[in-house]
Structure 1
Amino acid sequence: MEDLRIKNVNLQKSENLERHRTEGFSSSKALVVRRGASFRISLQLEGRPFNPKTDSLRIRVMLDHLYVIMPVTFSKKVSASHWKAYMDPADLNLQNPSIFISSPASASVGCYKFELCVFSEDRQEKHAFGKFILLCNPWCREDTVYIPFEDLREEYVLNDSGLLFMGTAVNLVSRPWSFDQYEPGVLEACLNLLQVSPQHQKNRRVDYLKRNNPAYISRVVSAMINCEDDRGVLKGNWSSNFKQGVHPSMWTGSGDILRQWAESGCRPVKYGQCWVFAAVMCTVMRVLGIPSRVVTNFNSAHDTNDNLVIEEYYSETGKKLGHSKDSIWNFHVWVECWMTRKDQGSGMDGWQVLDPTPQQRSGGVFCCGPAPVKAIRDQRINLLYDIPFVYAEVNADVHTIIVSQGRVVSRSIDTQRVGSLICTKAAGFPRLQNITGDYKYIRSPTSTLTSRSSTLSDDSTLRRASSSQGVLVFLTLDRAPVAGEPISFSVKVVNKHSVAKMMKVHLNAQAKEYNSSPSDTFWEAHGVTQLAPLEVKVLQQQILPAQYEDVVGDDLINLAVVLEDVGSHERVLASEEFNIASPQLIIQMADADSIVLNKEQTATVSFTNPFSHPVSGVLTVAGAGLIQGKIHFRMLPLRPGGRVQQRITFIPSMVGTKMLQANLSLTNINSTVRGFKMVFVNKA
C-alpha cells in the first residue's frame, strides 16, 4: 500500500481571522484566534488519501510544558469546558482533510504550539507542527469576559483609537489617542509583557494555569505597565524635568511606547503620567481580548491617611499653600475592564477599576484592582481589590483652611467637589459618556456635559460659594476660558447682615499641574469694598492673555478670592481650579466619502494663531491604519491672528473607522495644539 505523507498544514489564516474577529492581527506571523470557538486547519497529503477506517489523527496542544492530547473525531459536538478536535463528516476531502480545533472558554491566554500525529494501519506515525495565539473571547457567552451587544464589543475590544478626557469638569479637553493594537510589533509586545512579569518568572506553570482568569491577567498587567517593581513598560515622572526622555504630553499613541519597551530589552520607557499609563494598559487589555475603556475622574482625591478628608491650605491673601500630604488631582485617569467576578460573590460582575499609575502598593506591589465599580458605589470595602482607595478617590470631603501667621483663621467643608464628574468615551461616538452614577449615588441632579461645553450650568463647579457668619462670597467664571482671550470672572459678595461692612478683597492666581500644588503667584489684585446692609455686590475682573500665556500653557490655574471683614477680621474664601481651552487644529479631507483601501488620499491641516505673539513649532501627523509611522513638518513663525495650512497625503492600509490625528508642538510657548478627524476607509 502506498504510504500516507503530510506535505503541509494550512492554518487557513484569512478564514480563521475573520471567524474570530482578529483580522486586525493579519500582520502577525502567528494565527490569532479566540478561546471558546473553533478554528479550521487543513492538511495537504502526499501519497494515498486519508482512510477514515484505517487511519486516525491525534492532536497535542501545548502551552509551554502544559499540554492536552485529543483524538480527532467525526462528532461536531463541542464543549465549552474542554478541548475538542473533529472533522466534519458532511464535508470530508480525503486528500486535503480539514480539522476543526475547539478550545474551552476558560483556556489560558498565550502562544500555543500543536503537534498533529497521523496513525496508519501499520502504526506508522506522521507528524506536523504549528502554532497559534489564543486570546479571550467577548463574543462567547461562556467566557468570563463576555459582554453583550455588538456595539460594545466593537468599541471596547476592536476599536484602535479613542478619546482621553482631561482638563476640568466643565471645560473638558478631548485628547485623541491611538491604541495601536494592530500596529506591527504591538501584539508581540503585549504577550511578552506577560512573559517577563514576576509571576511568570517565579513559577511559569502556575502563571500559565492562572492566565485563564481575566482578573489575574488584569492585575499582572496593572503592575507591569509601570516599572516600579519589575521590568515594566513606563517610568512615571511628575517633575518639570523630562530631558532623559519624552514629555508625557507628547505621546499620541501606545504603539511607540510598547515597541520601544520591547526593542530595548524591556527597559522602561520615559516618561508617563496617569493618562499615558491608562491608555497603554487599555491597549494591552484589548489586545488580550478583555473589554477595556479609559475613564477620567475629575477632582480625584489621593487620601494618604485613609480618613476620607482632603485638607487644602490658603494664605490670608488667597495663595494656595503646599502644606498637606493629601492632594486632589484635577483629573485622574484609570482603566475599566469588563469581566465576571466569581471570586467576589454575586452582583460584582461588569466593569472593574484597574489603575496602573503607581500611587500606592497593593499586596506589596504598585498596582490597583480589579475593583468592581458596583462595590465602590455600594461601599463594599471588604471585597478585593483596593476598593477603599478608589472609593476615597471619588468620595472624599475637602476641608479648606485659611492660615495667618501659623494660625487657622477660617475653615470650610465641600462634600461635592471630589469625583464631580466621572466619564469615558461613548461607544461608537467621539463624545463623552457620563458614568458618575455608576460610582456614587448622586446627591443632586447634574447637567449633561459635552466634551466641548463652553457654557456653565447653575450647579457648575466653577460657581463656588463660601460663607462666614456675615458674608457670602461666590467666585464665578463668566465663560469657559479660551487661549488668546481674557479670563473673565466675577466675585459676588452678599452681606447677610443689616449693618454696613468694610471688606478687604484679595485675588490670587497661580499656575499648577493637574496633580500637584500650584507654583508661585503670577497675577494678583487687592482692594477694599464697602457693603451696605443686606447689599449684593458683583466685582468684575479680568486676567489678560499677556498676563497668563507665558506662564500657563498646558497647565491649569488656581484662582482664589479671600474677603476679610475689616471690623471682625473674619475671613471667607472661594476658589476654583480651571484650564484654558487650547486652540484646535482643523483637519479637512479632500474627498471624505470615497476613502478607499490602498488608494492615495489627501487631507489639509490648518491652524490659526490665537496668541498675542508669534508662534512656531513642529506639526506631527499620524493615524493607525492610515499612515505608516509619523509625518513631521516644521512651522515657521506665525504672526498673531495668522493662519497656516499643511497638505498631507496618505495611503490607508486597513478598512473601517480610523483616526487621523495632528499635533502642533509650539516651541516658544508651553503648549501643544491638537486635532483629529475620524475617517471611514472602504474596501477597494
Structure 2
Amino acid sequence: MEGEICLQKDMKIQNVNLEKSENQERHKTQGFSSCKALVVRRGAPFRVSLPLKGQAFNPKTDSLTIKVTLGRLYMSMPVTFSKNVPSSQWKAYMDPKGLNLQNPSIFISSPASASVGCYGFQLCVVTQGSQKTCAFGKFILLCNPWCHEDAVYIPFEDQREEYIQNDSGLLFVGTAMNIVSRPWSFDQFEPGVLEACLDLLQVSPQHQKDGRIDYLNRGNPVYISRVVSAMINSEDDCGVLKGKWKGDFKQGVNPSLWTGSGDILTQWASSGFSPVQFGQCWVFAAVMCTVMRVLGIPCRVVTNFNSAHDTNGNLVIEEYYSETGQKLNRSKDSIWNFHVWVECWMTRQDLGSGMDGWQVLDPTPQQRSGGVFCCGPAPVKAIKDRRIDQFYDIPFVYAEVNADVHSLVVSEGRVVSYSKDTERVGSLICTKAIGFPRHQNITGDYKCITSPTSTLSLRSSTRSEDSTLRRGTPKGVLVFLTLDNAPVAGEPVRFTVKVINKQKVAKKMRLHLNAQAKEYNNSPSDTFWETSGVLQLAPMEAKVIHQQILPDQYEGVVGDDLINLAVVLEDVASHEWFLASEEFNIASSQLTIQIADKNLIVNKEQSATVTFTNPFSQPVSGVLTVAGAGLTPGKVHFRMLPLRPGGRIEQLITFIPSNVGTKMLQASLSLTNINCTVRGFKMVSVLRA
C-alpha cells in the first residue's frame, strides 16, 4: 500500500515496495496472491524496500524507525543493523551486506506469538538535519506452522502441505460399513476468502466487546480456535452458518448441495454478515477447517461414526423399539450415524506438554461451552485418557465416542426386552489420509482398542456371536441381522437373519421385520417396508432366513437418507422378546470424470468429460454442477434431461487452470425426482508453463 509524507526536499520516500512475490514465496503464502495486501507468517522476517528520490540514505547520520499498529495497539522500534533481538520481540533491521543506499531494504520480523490480524506500519527516515520523510504500508500476519517457536508448529512438510496448503479434500459420511467420500473444496486461496476469515475475527463478540483485549489474545491458537468455533454457527452472534435439520430448505440451500467453503464465506461477508442458510455438521466442520487453514493453524476434518449425543451425561444412550420392530422416538439422547468435527494442531501451554497435539473443535451447535455454542479445543490425548478435569469440553466429546447403547423393546407400555452394546458408539473415527484420496482410521487416538474387530469398517454389520453375548442378549435365543454386502443404489438390499435356539426344547417364534428411512441425526420416519411370519425351531436348531428390499421399494423414501432395519422375535410360549437391528446407507453410483490431457498446464485450456449412468428403476433428471478451486472460476451448471433407467450421458466441459499444484475437479448431479445427489471427483496435477 502506498502513501507518503515529504517534509524535506533533498530526500523523499516514493513508496513502500512490499516485495510481495518474494515475501509470499518465502512465507508459503503464494496462494493468497489475489489479496491486495502482503500476507506473511509470524516468527519469520519479511523484506520491504524504500525507493528514495534525491538524497541517498546515509547509515552514519540518518536514522530509520518503524511503527507497527494493530487496531489501537502499536509498537515503535528503531531499524538496526543487528538481527540479534530476542525472538519474543518485534524487530526491524537492515542487512549491511549489499545495502543499496538509494533503495534500502528493511527486514521486519514479528514474534512467533504475535497476534493474527491486519497490521499497518509507518516507516520514517530522519536525516542529519532532523528532517523527516515517512511512508505507510500494511500486511496481514498469520500463524506459522513452519516456525519451531510457534504454538502451531507441526513437524513434517507433508503434514503442513495437507493441513495448511491443501485447498481440497474429502469428508466422510454414511456409515462405518459403507463409507461415502464426499469431495469438498476448502477454497482458502479463492478471492475474498482470506478477507472473510479476518472479518470473522473482527465481528466476533469478543472483538466487539473489547477490541484491545481481543487483539492481545489473538496470538494464542487456543483463544482463536474458540472464537472461530463459536463464529461458524450463528446461535450467539452474526456467525457464518445457520443450522437446519428438519423441514424444507426453501429459504436457503439444502446442506447436501454445498460443495465448498468459498461460496459460503464470501456470501456471508458480502451480505453484511447475515448467516448463510443452511448448514449441517459436515458443512460447519468443513468451513471451520477453511478458516483455520487460512489463519495458519493446521486443521483436518474428522468423522465419528455412531456419534452419541448424551444429554444427561450418564454415558448411556437408550433406544426404544415396538414389538413389530419399529424404532420409536422416545429418548432425548440420540446417536447420529456420523458426526463431523475438526481437529487443530497446537501446543497447550495452559494444560502442559502432555496435552499438545491434535485438539477437537466442533462448530456444530449442540450445547453451550462457557455460555456460548462452541466446543473445544479438547485434547485428543485427554479424551483417550478420560482426563475430564482438563479444558475444554472433554466430557462431552468423550461421551460422543464412548457411550453405551441400551436397546429396549416396548409392548403395551412396558419394557419386555433389554440388551446392551458397548462397541457401537465411536465404532470408527477417521480423517483424510495425508496425500491420498482415502480415509485414515484414527479410532485408536481417541479410545483404547481392546478388540481388533472394533476398528473394522464392517464392524457394525458383522457382529460376532461373542460380541452379541457381550452385549447382554438373553440366553434362550440368539438373533443376528447381517447385510450380505454393502448396499448399492439400483440393486436389492439383501440381508440375512440368523436365529439360534440355545435350549433343548422346541420353540415357536413370531418374527417381525421392519425398515424405516432416517436422516443421519434423527429418529426414523414411518415404516416403508415390513414383513412378518412364524418360525418353528427344533431344540438347539439354527435357522437362516434370506430377505431383500427391492429398489422400487426404497428409492422413493431413501435417496441421501439411511435405513433403520430391525428384527423382533417373540417366543410364543415364554413371551420372551429378542431384538437385532442395523442402520445402513445405500451407496449411490459415482460420476466418472476423465481428463483429456494427463499433464495440465497453468493458464492453458483443458477439457474433461463427466459421465453418469442411471442406476435407478425410473427415469431421472437434474442439474450437473462442476467446480474446482484453482481450476474453474466459480461453478459451471448443466441441466440434464430425463435419462431412462440404465441410460448413460456424457457432458464435455472446458476449463483453464489458474494455480499450480494438486487440485480437485469435482462434479455433483442433484436429481430432481429422487432425494439424491450423485458425486464424483478427479485429482489433477497442474504444472507451470
CA separation in 1, counterparts of 2:112 and 2:460? Answer: 49
1:660 and 2:665 matched: yes
> What amino acid is the match of 2:521?
N
| Residue of structure 1 equivalent to 2:286 | 279
Which residue does the alignment assign to 1:38?
45
Question: Which residue of the partner structure matches residue 379 of structure 2?
Answer: 372
CA apart distance, 1:462:
12
The match for 1:361 is: 368
Equivalence map 1:277-676=2 (5 Å) = 277-446=284-453, 467-592=473-598, 594-676=599-681
CA distance in 2 between counterparts of 1:210 and 1:28 reads 25
Query: Alignment partner of 1:352: what SS?
Result: strand
The alpha carbon displacement at 1:49 in A equals 1.0
| Cα offset, 1:240, TM superposition | 2.3
> How has the CA–CA distance of structure 1 residues 527 and 2 changed in structure 2, closer, same or farther, with 3 Å as cutoff?
closer
Q: For residue 139 of structure 1, what is the amino acid of its counterpart? A: W
Residues 140-155 of structure 1: pairs in structure 2 closer than 5 A: 140-155=147-162
**Residues 173/106 of structure 1: CA separation in 2 closer, same or farther (3 Å cut):** same
d(CA) in 1 for partners of 2:683 and 2:466?
A: 31
SS in 2 for 1:342: coil
Q: 2: distance between equivalents of 1:461 and 1:621?
A: 48
**By how many angstroms is 1:461 displaced?**
13
Which stretches in structure 1 are left out of the alignment for 5+ residues? none
CA offset digits 1:206-259 (Å, max 9, x no partner): 000000000000000000000000010000001121111000000000000001
Letter of the 1:619 counterpart: L
Q: Is the 8 A contact 2:625 2:636 kept in 1?
A: yes
Instruction: Identify the range of structure 1 (458-467 vs 343-352) with the bigger mean alpha-carbon deviation.
Output: 458-467
- How much does 1:48 deviate? 1.5
Given that 1:395 and 1:419 are in contact with CA atoms closer than 8 Å, whether structure 2 keeps it comes out as yes
Report if the CA contact (8 A) 2:226-2:377 is conserved.
yes
Task: Specify whether residues 458 and 406 from structure 1 end up closer, same or farther in structure 2 by C-alpha distance, changes over 3 A only.
Answer: closer
> Which one-letter code corresponds to 2:387 in the other structure?
R
In structure 1, how many angstroms separate the alpha carbons of the residues matched to 2:439 and 2:247? Answer: 30
The Cα shift of 1:5 comes to 1.2
Q: 1:647 to 1:584 in 2, by over 3 A?
A: same
1:157 is aligned to 164
Equivalent in the alignment of 1:202: 209
Q: Is the 8 A contact 2:40 2:140 kept in 1?
A: yes
2: distance between equivalents of 1:183 and 1:454?
40
How far has the Cα of 1:467 moved from its partner?
3.1
Contact 2:89–2:110, Cα closer than 8 Å, also in 1: yes
Q: Structure 2: how far apart are the matches of 1:323 and 1:670?
A: 27
Amino acid paired to 1:82:
Q
Q: Is the 8 A contact 2:423 2:454 kept in 1?
A: no
What secondary structure sits across from 1:343 in the alignment?
Answer: coil
With over 3 angstroms needed to count, the CA separation of the structure-2 counterparts of 1:448 and 1:603, relative to structure 1, is farther
8 A Cα contact 2:176 2:460, kept in partner: no
Letter in 2 for 1:143: D
1:467/1:238 CA distance change after superposition, 3 Å: same
Secondary structure of 2:13's counterpart equals strand
Name 1:211's counterpart in structure 2.
Answer: 218
For the residue of structure 1 that corresponds to 2:353, the secondary structure is: coil
Q: Which moved more, 1:621-630 or 1:68-77?
A: 68-77
TM-score of the two chains, using structure 1 as the length reference: 0.98
Which whole-Å CA distance do the structure 2 matches of 1:506 and 1:115 have between them? 78
Gaps of 5+ in 2: 1-7
Cα distance between partner residues in 1 of 2:317 and 2:394 = 18
Per-residue CA distance 1:16-55 (angstroms, 9 max, x = gap): 0000000000000000000000000011000021111111
**Higher alpha-carbon deviation: 85-94 or 511-520:** 85-94
Q: 1:344 touches 1:383 (CA, 8 Å); kept in 2? A: yes
Letter in 1 for 2:492: P
Alpha-carbon offset, residue 147 of structure 1: 0.4
* Equivalent position amino acid for 2:511 in 1: V
* Cα distance in 2 for residues equivalent to 1:2 and 1:602: 58
Name the CA shift for 1:8/1:402 in 2 (closer, same or farther; >3 Å). same
Partner Cα separation in structure 2 for residue 457 and residue 542 of structure 1:
17
Aligned partners of 1:509, 1:344: CA distance in 2, in Å?
A: 48
Partner of 1:226: 233
Task: Quote how far apart the aligned CAs of 1:492 are.
Answer: 0.3
Report the Cα distance in structure 2 between the residues aligned to 1:448 and 1:575, rounded to whole angstroms: 19
Structure 2: how far apart are the matches of 1:462 and 1:607? 41
Q: Secondary structure at the match of 1:107?
A: coil
Give the secondary structure class of the aligned counterpart of 1:441.
coil
Between the aligned partners of 1:174 and 1:522, the Cα distance in structure 2 is 27
| Amino acid of the structure 1 residue aligned with 2:664 | M
Distance of aligned partners of 1:457 and 1:681 in 2 relative to their CA distance in 1, 3 Å threshold: farther
Match for 2:473: what amino acid?
S
Conserved 8 A contact 1:466-1:573 = no
Report the AA paired with residue 301 of structure 1: A
1:259-289 Cα offsets, whole Å, 9 max, x none, are 1100000000000000000000000000000
Q: Give the Cα separation in 1 of the matches to 2:422 and 2:235.
A: 34
Greater shift in the superposed pair: 82-91 or 509-518: 82-91
Asked whether the equivalents of residues 115 and 128 of structure 1 are also in contact (C-alpha less than 8 Å), the reply is yes
Residue-by-residue CA offset, 1:287-313 (whole Å, 9 max, x unaligned)? 000000000000000000000000000
**Partner of residue 87, structure 1:** 94
Contact 2:15 2:136 in 1 (8 A): no
Q: Answer yes or no: is the 8 Å Cα contact 2:453–2:459 preserved in 1.
A: no
C-alpha spacing 1:588/1:454, structure 2 compared with 1 (3 Å): farther
SS at match of 1:625: coil
RMSD over aligned Cα atoms: 1.7
C-alpha deviation, 1:399, in angstroms: 0.4
Matched, 1:678 2:683: yes
More displaced, 456-465 or 1-10? 456-465
Give per-residue Cα distances to partners, 1:610-647, cap 9 Å, x unaligned.
00111111000000000001100011111111100000
Measure how far apart 1:3 and its partner are. Answer: 1.2
Give the alignment partner of residue 138 of structure 1, picking from 145, 151, 157: 145
Q: Tell me the amino acid that sits aligned with residue 508 of structure 2.
A: M
The residue aligned with 1:121 is 128
Q: 1:235 is aligned with what amino acid?
A: K
Question: CA distance change for structure 1 residues 247 and 476 in 2, over 3 Å: closer, same or farther?
Answer: same
Q: Answer whether contact 2:145 2:152 (CA < 8 A) is retained.
A: yes
One-letter amino acid matched to 1:628: P
Whole-Å separation in 1 of the counterparts to 2:188 and 2:635: 16
Distance in 2 (CA, whole Å) between partners of 1:9 and 1:25 is 20
Q: In structure 2, the residue corresponding to 1:90 is in which secondary structure?
A: coil
> What displacement does 1:346 show?
3.1
d(CA) in 2 for partners of 1:571, 1:458: 19
8 A contact 2:170–2:437 mirrored in 1: yes
SS of the residue corresponding to residue 73 of structure 1 reads coil
Contact 2:341/2:360 (CA < 8 Å) preserved in 1? yes
Map of 1:47 onto structure 2? 54
**CA offsets, 1:140-199, max 9 Å, x none?**
000000000000000000100000000000100000000000011000000000000000
User: What is the TM-score with the length of structure 2 in the denominator?
Assistant: 0.97
CA positional deviation for 1:78: 4.4
In 2, Cα distance between the equivalents of 1:2 and 1:249?
A: 64
> Corresponding residue for 1:243?
250
Q: Which amino acid aligns with 1:419?
A: G
